[in-house]
Structure 1
Amino acid sequence: MKIKVPGCMSLAVNDLRWFAVRVRGGMADPVFAELQDAGYDVYLPRRRYDRYNRRMRVMSERSEPLLPGYLFVAHPRRGGQPDDWSEVRGVNGVVGPLSSTVAPLVIPAAVIEAIITAEFESAYDETAAAKRARGDTDRSRLEQRFKPGRQFVVSDGPFASFLAEADSITHDERVKTLVEIFGRMTPVVFEPEQLEDLPKKGKSKAA
Structure 2
Amino acid sequence: MARKKKRPRPIPEIEIIETLQPAPSDLDFGTAEKPKLWYLVWTTPRGEAKAADGLAEAGCQVFWPHFERVIRRKNKPEIKNLISTFPRYLFASGLPRLAQRLTVVGPDGKTGITIDGRPIEDIREIDGIVAVVRNSQGWCSVPRAIIEMVAAYQGTVAHPVPPAVPVRRLDAEPGDRVVVIDGPFASFQATVADVLGLEVVRVLVDLFGRQTPVDLDPRQIEVRERAKGVDDRFAA
TM range (shorter): 0.3 to 0.5
The structure whose Rg is larger is 1
Q: Taking structure 2 as the reference length, what is the TM-score of the superposition?
A: 0.43
- Structure holding more helix per residue: 1
